[in-house]
Structure 1
Amino acid sequence: MAIKINGSEAVLLRIYTVIMIVAVLCALAVAQHIFVPLALASLLTFVLAPLVTRLERVTGRIASVVLVIVSVTAMVLLVGYVLSQQLVDLATKLPDYHHAIQRKVTTFQESTGGQYDRLSRAIEAVRQDLPGANRLPPVVDGRADGAGPVTVVVDNSNAGGDVQSVIGLILGGFGLAALVLLLTVFMLLYREDIRGRILRLVGNGRISQTTNAMTETGTRVFRYLLMQLCLNCGFGLAVAIGLYAIGVPNPALWGALAATLRFIPYVGPWIAAGFPILIALAVSDGWTTVLLTVGLFVTLELITNNVLEPWLYRTSTGVSSIALIFASVFWAWLWGPIGLILATPMTVCLVVIGRHIPRLSFLSVLLSDEDPLLPHQEFYHRLLRADLTEAVVMADRWRKERSLLSLYEEIYLPVLLTAESDHGMAELDHERRAALHQGVRDLLDDQALRSAASAPAQAQGSGEGGEEADHRARANVLCLPVRAMRDELAAVMLSQALDEAGNDARDLSASLTTSELVEGAALAQPALICVTVVLPSAGVQARTLCTRLRARLPTVPLIVCFIGHGSDNTDLQRSFAGLSDVTVATTLTQAVHAVTGLLQPVASDSDPGTLAAS
């Protein structure tokens, strides 16, 4: 049973939601040292849980967790040992690299004729002319000009503090790693218990909805982390092999750095590329090695982004690219460099939460990669802006993938219904509704011209005899609007859909009176008549028109197509109980099928082959 919420309660709910979001953000910022290890441990649990589950069937839970954790730790230590050797080798060569880069920069400046030196001196001269650039000489030994003996004092008071800060950073890193490892062990051991407590705490009786949210979160995060891990390891391996072939020292170090930094969206690979490019600049005499190094990273990024990622990410994480950029900036501001690594998984969790919690649905709208508007809403938006060019582009794109009938039923008719709904709520005035109707009419006329232009080519392909036979087989169908412009537009859509289905359909204008519509139908002598009724046009108006049509044309079948009146046509059919040979449809597709079904016996009876056989 739906719970109705009045305006004041809705405002209070919004205020409460904003307060809760602000409180959560403050907690994440203040308690960073608590939430960062929890987030890292949760990600490791997502990655390792499937492997632990498989081993648990053979070795038991405790043994499987210990085996997986020991294996991962040993692998990390082995990689760390190899990289430490590379770092030591790099540290011993850094002075040589520094001098080599200085010589190359000096050579480059000399080759340019000292232009950069002159530019630097000009900038310095401008800086000296700025207000506040000149300073009085310091007072030394009581003399204002600073003349006299100068005593140089070396302050070593901060040396101990620098050493302590470095040691503190190292110990802090090891402490964070140990805490994350410990939390991961306990999360793997008690993962069912933790899941049950989250269901009890967050579910609030909605176990099914909460379970679906947790399952979707786990699936998306695990798929992203696994694919990203495989992709980054392959990227790092390719970088290491490529740099080794080019001749850049310490290729294993740069490959591992590239694999690690690639977890940072967009900018990570290029930060990793900067270090080997500088080393290539130092060790090479010319520019060939530098250009090859740059080309290696550019080529690998193009292949990874355009080939491997679309192939591996068969189903996306559900986060849009622009949202991922903003999320990376936000989490980096909140948690620093670790926030960049956690940006994508945390954003995936927010998107899933927004999908399953109505009060936080704005998160899914802002962050997900789903289209923000439904197709007919986007089309309605373009027509309201009187942008027919974009509307035509959207319609053409739709027609390349789907049928003309689908375009009318899923876009054009919902646009008309939305316009009538907005007009009924005084959100769309008469002028703008008329302009929208005219825009739809222009699009329908454009479609008619295209269909007419393509008809001769199809007829030429079938030959003259085929054209005459096809003309004899095409039935005469007349589409009538019941009263308003919306009904006329629906009649035009139905007639064009019937034309595409192989009938000879025409339509009359809604500006005609009921008597004029009946007289026009009598003059046309159609084999079948279709009447279109678009909400808010009512069934009583359709019954009046059908009654007069039946009196004038007693043998012509009638099809009444109701648009926007619901899918159940039982009550609608009952309203025409007193009239014979009247079929009710609630969609254009049903109307087209009804026309085909009613005209099929006529076409079969008029077929010469059928008559000869009888």
Structure 2
Amino acid sequence: MTAGKIHHAAQVTVAAILVIAALSIASSVFAPVAFALFIVALVWPLQKALQGALPRLVALAVSVVVMIVAFVGFGSLIIWAFGRVGRWIVSDAARFQSFYDQTTTWLEGHGIVVAGAWSETFSVSWMLRLAQTVTGRLNSTVSFWLVVLVYVLLGLLEVDDFERKLKCMRSRGTGEILLRGSMATGAKIRRYMLVRTAMSIITGALVWAFARAVGLPLAEEWGFIAFSLNYIPFLGPLIATVFPTAFAMTQFGSWGAVVAVFACLNLIQFVVGSYVEPRVAGNALAISPVVVLFSVFFWSYLWGVFGAFIGVPITIALLTFCALHPSTLWLAEIFGSPHKDEPAA
């Protein structure tokens, strides 16, 4: 490798590190923008269709109302499901305590002492800190969504103007790549969310049916939790199986039943996620599972839960733009689908 190539590689590495540091340090600035662009990509086809029959501002108002109703409804159902689970834990605290005592006794009998670590970690001060953290997160979440809403409003107003500016750029090649990349990214993100929603519905319905069949309490809640967490690849389905398994420990009192519940829930997640979803999504959304998992961890590390949710769409956008330029096409071929979908305008 020549000195020039080494110098160029060093420059690219330093630039990448600086970009990642900026995304992490200024997450309160970049995360709302990224999430707003994600929502604009989903909502824009609705507004574009409405603009054909309604004035522009009226179409924008209708689109925003539909978006707000969808988010409020989804958020309310999440609060309902997790709230019901939380109240059940409180009302059934004695049984959970009994199971904990049995578990610690068994572990201590095998030379594993956990009671001391438990008492040191879970104290009144820890509970107060947890309550303060949850309150702070709720406040920051409300602020986050308000900022996102403002960006979405401005973004939906600017889509047509942005398209005209790209078409009129002096550098026609750059403008064409940006326009084609934006259109292809929007189409792929909409398809990704459509497929993910369909798979989440199937997963939630199967989890609900299984919970009802085995007599696990809160079957509807477990079904909706599985549906909502399925939007976060890998981590979401894992968490969605751990919660009902913990309840099975206290409800059935048999390790065999607990193992069976855990195995069946993971079987549902595996069949839907590894067999059904790839055949529905097709090659257009083909991304290496390693890249998907890395995207979830990487963006959740930078931006928390919001990053975990949109980590895969961000990766889809990056690979889509990489596929449009010869110098970066190899990245799309290795980590994603090399096919360049040309969505309709």
TM-score, with length taken from structure 1: 0.47
Q: Residues 255 and 201 (structure 1 numbering): CA distance in 2 closer, same or farther, change over 3 Å? A: farther
| Cα pair 2:51 2:59 within 8 Å, conserved | yes
Q: Does 1:218 align with 2:186?
A: yes
Pairing partner for 1:118 from 95, 100, 109? 109
Which stretch has the larger CA shift, 267-276 or 318-327? 318-327
Amino acid paired to 2:30: F
Q: Does 1:194 align with 2:162?
A: yes
Distance 1:302 1:21 in 2: 35
Q: Does 1:270 align with 2:238?
A: yes
Query: Please, which runs of 5 or more residues in structure 2 have no aligned partner?
Result: 115-123, 340-345
Q: Does 1:46 align with 2:41?
A: yes
Deviations 1:151-170 (A, max 9, x none): xxxxx999987765443221
Bigger radius of gyration = 1
Distance 1:160 1:298 in 2: 34
Q: Higher relative contact order by CA 8 Å / sep ≥ 6: 1 or 2?
A: 2
Q: Does 1:293 align with 2:261?
A: yes
Structure 2 equivalent of residue 346 of structure 1 = 314
- Equivalent position SS for 1:221: helix
Deviations 1:468-490 (A, max 9, x none): xxxxxxxxxxxxxxxxxxxxxxx
Amino acid paired to 2:32: P
Total equivalences in the alignment: 331
Superposition CA RMSD, Å:
3.6
| Cα pair 1:246 1:292 within 8 Å, conserved | no
Q: Does 1:254 align with 2:222?
A: yes
Q: Residues 316 and 160 (structure 1 numbering): CA distance in 2 closer, same or farther, change over 3 Å? A: same
Q: Does 1:326 align with 2:317?
A: no
Deviation at 1:274, TM superposition (A): 0.7
Deviations 1:173-208 (A, max 9, x none): 111122222222222222122344567789665333
Q: Residues 199 and 347 (structure 1 numbering): CA distance in 2 closer, same or farther, change over 3 Å? A: farther
Pairing partner for 2:62 from 57, 61, 67? 67
Structure 1 equivalent of residue 197 of structure 2 = 229
Structure 1 equivalent of residue 87 of structure 2 = 92
Distance 1:163 1:107 in 2: 28
Higher relative strand content: 1
Deviation at 1:354, TM superposition (A): 2.2
Structure 2 equivalent of residue 78 of structure 1 = 73
Distance 2:99 2:132 in 1: 37
Which stretch has the larger CA shift, 170-179 or 253-262? 253-262
Q: Residues 10 and 255 (structure 1 numbering): CA distance in 2 closer, same or farther, change over 3 Å? A: same
Amino acid paired to 1:57: G
Q: Residues 172 and 201 (structure 1 numbering): CA distance in 2 closer, same or farther, change over 3 Å? A: farther
- Equivalent position SS for 2:284: coil
Distance 1:71 1:236 in 2: 24
Q: Residues 170 and 210 (structure 1 numbering): CA distance in 2 closer, same or farther, change over 3 Å? A: closer
| Cα pair 2:42 2:186 within 8 Å, conserved | no
Structure 1 equivalent of residue 206 of structure 2 = 238
Q: Residues 201 and 368 (structure 1 numbering): CA distance in 2 closer, same or farther, change over 3 Å? A: farther
Q: Residues 219 and 203 (structure 1 numbering): CA distance in 2 closer, same or farther, change over 3 Å? A: farther
| Cα pair 2:207 2:265 within 8 Å, conserved | yes
| Cα pair 1:28 1:35 within 8 Å, conserved | yes
Deviation at 1:30, TM superposition (A): 2.0
Deviation at 1:210, TM superposition (A): 3.1
Percent of matched pairs sharing the same residue: 20
Distance 1:217 1:70 in 2: 24
Structure 2 equivalent of residue 22 of structure 1 = 17
Amino acid paired to 1:117: E
Distance 1:290 1:202 in 2: 65
How do residues 131-530 of structure 1 correspond to structure 2 at under 5 angstroms?
A: 165-197=133-165, 205-286=173-254, 290-291=258-259, 293-361=261-329, 363-364=331-332, 366-369=334-337
Distance 1:88 1:217 in 2: 36
Deviations 1:68-109 (A, max 9, x none): 322332233334444444444433332343321343455578
Q: Residues 72 and 353 (structure 1 numbering): CA distance in 2 closer, same or farther, change over 3 Å? A: closer
Deviation at 1:309, TM superposition (A): 1.0
Distance 1:292 1:324 in 2: 28
Distance 1:161 1:96 in 2: 23
Which stretch has the larger CA shift, 47-56 or 190-199? 190-199
Structure 1 equivalent of residue 117 of structure 2 = none
Deviation at 1:50, TM superposition (A): 1.6
TM-score, with length taken from structure 2: 0.79
Q: Residues 363 and 311 (structure 1 numbering): CA distance in 2 closer, same or farther, change over 3 Å? A: closer
Deviation at 1:273, TM superposition (A): 1.0
Q: Residues 321 and 85 (structure 1 numbering): CA distance in 2 closer, same or farther, change over 3 Å? A: closer
| Cα pair 1:41 1:183 within 8 Å, conserved | yes
Q: Residues 80 and 267 (structure 1 numbering): CA distance in 2 closer, same or farther, change over 3 Å? A: closer
Deviation at 1:303, TM superposition (A): 2.9
Amino acid paired to 2:248: A
Amino acid paired to 1:329: F
Amino acid paired to 2:58: A
Deviation at 1:262, TM superposition (A): 1.6
Distance 1:163 1:332 in 2: 22
Q: Residues 285 and 327 (structure 1 numbering): CA distance in 2 closer, same or farther, change over 3 Å? A: closer
Distance 1:216 1:274 in 2: 37
Higher relative helix content: 2
